[in-house]
Amino acid sequence: MSKVEIPNVSFKDFLVNQVEPSREDGNYVSFWIKHINYCKSGVMVGGVHISGWLYWHLNFFKLSIDTRDDFGNSIRIVSNPKLRDNEWLINWCYNKANDEGKKPILAFGTRRFAKTSFISSRVAYNTFIFQYSNPLIIGGSQSDLNNITKYLDEFYEKRPDCFSDFVKISDWNKATSSDVEIEFNKRIVTKGRNPINPISYEFFPIVDKPNDNSFAFSRISVRNLQQGQVTSKEELLAGITPTEAVWDEVGKYLYSKQRSALLPAIENDLGERRFVELLIGTGGNTDFAADAEMDFLYTEKSDFFHFDVTQYLEEVKEEYFEYVQETDKEVSLFVPAQMSNKGGEKKEIPLVQYLNRDFTEEQIKELDGFNILVTDWKEALDKVQGFIGSEQAKSPDKGKKAQMYYPFQPEDCFLFSGNNPFPVEQAKRTQDAINVKGTYGEYITLDVMPNGIISVTPSGADPVNDYPFRGGAVNAPVVIYERPVFDNPRQIKRGTYIAGFDGAKVSTSTTSDSLNCLYIFKRQAGVSGLQNQIVAQYTSRPNIDSNYYRQAMLLLKLYNAECLPEADVPFMKYLRSQKSEYLIAQAKGTNLRINENSRANVDYGLPATARNKEHLLKLLKNYCWDQIPTGVMGPEGEEISVLGVTRITDPMLLEEIIKFGNYKNYDRIMSFGHALIWDEELTINNIKGSEDKYEIKRDVYRKITSGKFGRNKKYS
């Protein structure tokens, strides 16, 4: 079936610029059908493609907008919206995502960029233009959903005359599942002897079935996931075959399980997506943002649409889109704070001035009067920064929340405020530096050769790069950032390396986000290379626990590292069975030193008491905030120092530090904290480790990597 050619029109031909004919006019039906078809095909105006939805949004859709009356008073009126750079950006991404196999879009960013009106417009477009459509609106709370349905009701009350006989049946007020029918109902339409709109004969088979009371046109489904926390809601989206799906405020609830139930309905019989799925969220709620964060920041994994800024700047002039992403993360659609209402009033310019292309005189004539409201980037930046600064002056927590509400960079959406005692900003910069330099370590598997020597072989597996971990089994590699100072572990003096361990709390058959984590920590030794830093880690959760324990045991032996674990019975039982109990630190005295009133009767491992956890976090806090001299002198002759958090080599430990206080499990923090406690214990007992100078040839072991947190390519 051949496609219908897209009509070429001038801006003056748009519906908003036309005088609508009366119902008695012979052109009434053809007039409305023409403009409705423009909503299906889109139009070309001066060589510029205006999509079907954008034509609808500017000509058919109505909503409350702020304006000023003749006396300068701020008032709200219901009217057609004006074109803004916000809609142009989102529409461009929609078209790109559609061309890329209808990839889903996760639009995340600033508050007050009119996401609710956009969602309402998309749903109304699908509902009133396409017969037998079933758009689906998904939200996490009734209050958020009410904001959308309020806009839909507002449009319904002010809908164009061509839709006057479209009747809304039912309401939006059911607790979790609401379905509203849009239909022709003869009894309601003709109530009070009102005549049937002549265009209704084009939409409904009224003539063929004159005695029927109603004819369905479309349906809107609304589903409330109630923050995604109720298990019974996991299948709430199953059984729906939507023609449009829009998720609202996805930063406020975990949605991956519910979305899994919906995905089969989004695909057709050929395994292709039916439409571009849209998920929208804003920064500021960190409790349940894990799903949105992973899907948004790492589109190469989530398979969401990636917004390429360089491609967009081929569409619009750079002076009208001055956003620059500071990291190389392939994020989905990010809407920066400058584009929000908080950035101030936008300025109106001709569309031909906004677009990055040349126009002929004829095209300029066709586009005459077609304007767009654009962001004043400098003024908007000053206004938003001023607001954030004023909130920061009230309290650091308010300042952090303001930065999340109005982010300038994608990562700002997921800043974590509240009771985080760590240097979050420096941790993020350290994490970014690791990603830029590609210092992810060497991914390996350990084994024992017949002669008893521990062998190190490359692994094709990737580390666990999700936090929080999404549960299940995973076979991650051992990661080495620096090899031992001696190949023969017997040459490594006790106290040169130590270790901390925190075990998964439940079996892999559950959906727990707990992991097994072991860190090897190199103390301040008289050798070259890393000092007071993590040199290796093993964070994994294979199906069989003994597989993890064996790799962990071999890693401890490779470094001759004494390990202080949480009082983990399964790990210690395994080591005893392998005659390797000597690898576990005898920490009964350590436990009593931290808490002299402890009643825990353990010789190995550290009990998970509140006092021990408090001491662990204190040591980690001191480690992160410690001032480390760099040997570089400043302009005034002072020695420049950096925070201790910059010494952390594992980007996922940094991730837990950045997000501390918002999730339940901190396996890496607990593991590293145990290593710090044992370092403290050995220091108190004057056990220093190796003192001989030894030059580590790290280039022999260095891993060449690329990508987010160590997607490895080859070894040198």
- Domains of the chain, by residue range, sit at 11-73+85-379, 438-629+639-715
CA–CA distances in Å: residue 529 to residues 137, 360, 435, 563: 56, 65, 20, 21
Cα–Cα–Cα angle for 172, 177, 179, nearest 5°? 55
Helix axes of 667-684 and 610-625: crossing angle, nearest 10 degrees: 80
Residue 269 pLDDT: 76
Residue 72, pLDDT > 90, answer: no
Q: Say which residues have a Cβ less than 8 Å from residue 683's Cβ, sequence separation at least 6.
A: none
Residue-wise pLDDT for 200-237, tens only, equals 999 998 887 767 788 999 999 999 887 654 444 556 77
Q: Which residue has the higher pLDDT, 74 or 474?
A: 474
Which of 335-344, 350-359, 533-542, 604-613 has the lowest average pLDDT?
A: 604-613
Q: Which residue has the higher pLDDT, 114 or 321?
A: 321
CATH class of residue range 11-73+85-379 = alpha beta
Residue 175, classed as helix, strand or coil, is: coil
Residue 619, pLDDT > 80, answer: yes
Q: Using pLDDT thresholds of 50, 70 and 90, give the confidence band for residue 699.
A: very low
Q: Using pLDDT thresholds of 50, 70 and 90, give the confidence band for residue 526.
A: low
Q: Which residue has the higher pLDDT, 467 or 159?
A: 159
Mean pLDDT of the chain: 87
What mean pLDDT do residues 107-117 have? 89
Instruction: Mark out the alpha helices in 451-566 (DSSP H runs).
Output: 545-559
| CB neighbour class for 633 (10 Å; exposed up to 12, middle 13-18, buried from 19) | exposed
Residue 209 pLDDT: 72
Residue 7 pLDDT: 95
Residue 75 pLDDT: 79
The residue behind tokens 């020597």 is: 453
What mean pLDDT do residues 102-126 have? 92
What mean pLDDT do residues 610-624 have? 91
Q: Which residue has the higher pLDDT, 374 or 396?
A: 374
Residue 509 pLDDT: 43
Residue-wise pLDDT for 407-422, tens only, equals 999 988 887 655 678 8
Q: Say which residues have a Cβ less than 8 Å from residue 129's Cβ, sequence separation at least 6.
A: 36, 39, 40, 52, 56
Residue 706 pLDDT: 38
Q: Using pLDDT thresholds of 50, 70 and 90, give the confidence band for residue 672.
A: very high
Q: Residue 619, Cα to own-chain centre: how many angstroms?
A: 31
Q: Using pLDDT thresholds of 50, 70 and 90, give the confidence band for residue 697.
A: very low
The answer to whether the beta carbons of residues 78 and 160 sit under 8 Å apart is no
Residue 139, pLDDT > 80, answer: yes
Residue 74 pLDDT: 78
Residue-wise pLDDT for 342-388, tens only, equals 999 999 999 999 999 999 999 999 999 999 999 999 999 999 999 99
Question: In the chain, what percentage of residues exceed pLDDT 70?
Answer: 90
Residue 301 pLDDT: 85
What mean pLDDT do residues 664-676 have? 91
Residue 714, pLDDT > 60, answer: no
Residue 707 pLDDT: 42
Residue 508 pLDDT: 44
Residue 711, pLDDT > 50, answer: no
CATH architecture under which domain 438-629+639-715 falls: 2-Layer Sandwich (3.30)
Residue 714: phi and psi, rounded to 5, are: -160, 170
Strand duo 347-350 + 371-374: pairing: antiparallel
How many Cβ atoms are within 10 Å of 253's Cβ, its own excluded?
26
DSSP category for residue 529: S
Separation between Cα atoms, residue 113 and residue 685, nearest integer Å: 60
Residue 506, pLDDT > 70, answer: no
Residue 290 pLDDT: 74
Residue 514 pLDDT: 84
* pTM for this entry: 0.71
How many Cβ atoms are within 10 Å of 389's Cβ, its own excluded?
11
Which of 96-110, 294-308, 601-615, 664-678 has the lowest average pLDDT?
A: 601-615
Residue-wise pLDDT for 261-298, tens only, equals 888 889 877 778 999 999 998 875 555 777 888 899 88
Separation between Cα atoms, residue 389 and residue 360, nearest integer Å: 47
Q: Which residues of 325-347 are buried (b: 16+ CB within 10 A; e: fewer)?
A: beeebbbbbbbbbbbbebbeebe
Q: Which residues of 561-593 are buried (b: 16+ CB within 10 A; e: fewer)?
A: bbbbbbbbeebbebbeeeebeebbbebbebbee
Two tokens, residue 494: 């006790």
